[in-house]
Copies of this chain bind each other. A is one copy, B any other.
């Protein structure tokens, strides 16, 4: 009975995506947090889902909050890095719309293609604590980059009757992909539709084909 204890023996072939035990822990936690709930998932059940001992899990992550922090960061980091790269480009006449489109499409594609829909955890009271300050700051920086790109947009002819930040609405449309996915209604076109909608709100519906091309070129170059 010396092998008795929590957790099944780890199989030779990892059962989850990820090259390392750490990746498998993150994948199992993401599944459990999004399907069972964060508060109701224990580190023990995560370890069991991976097939390792709880003590092995603690070797990688000290607490459940550490795992959540890593997963939340993962939802914004690629989009944020791409948005930073776009925002750092030198000004280019007539490219503002293409830049916002590229950021929204890239970010929305990340949210829709991640294996687990972790954005549903954004508004958990547990995820709002100071413990997750880095994630909250990164998400805020991403929102601000959308805003800055939106502010660079040529003023729409119709905007006089409608005061709002187009970049902020684009950010909200992209994040609403999380809700769409949670409702089982996202499809491969959804990120493009969200990016398009952000530009239509800037009064640029007629220019969409050209804007899409500009955006796609930026993603090919920087993504």
Contacts and interface: CB of A to CB of B under 8 A. Distances in A.
Interface in A17-52: 34-40
Contacts of A161: 205, 208-209
A205 B34 CA distance: 38
A220 interface: no
Contact of A126 (B37, B126, B201): B37
A169 interface: yes
A69 B203 CA distance: 41
A65 to B, nearest CB: 13
A87 interface: no
- Name the residue among A37, A122, A180, A203 with the largest chain B CB count within 10 angstroms: A37
Contacts of A40: 39, 126
Given A125-B37, A161-B208, A203-B205, A197 B169 contact: yes
Nearest to A119: B123
The A contact surface, by secondary structure, is helix
Interface stretch (A76-84, A89-97, A101-109, A170-178): A170-178
A189 to B, nearest CB: 8
Interface string A189-202: 10001001100110
A197 B40 CA distance: 38
B179 A175 contact: yes
Given A176-B173, A180-B172, A158 B125 contact: no
A40 B125 CA distance: 10
Given A156-B205, A162-B196, A206-B158, A123 B176 contact: no
17 contacts: A34-B125, A36-B125, A38-B39, A40-B126, A120-B123, A123-B123, A123-B179, A123-B182, A157-B206, A162-B196, A162-B208, A163-B189, A169-B193, A173-B173, A197-B201, A200-B200, A201-B201
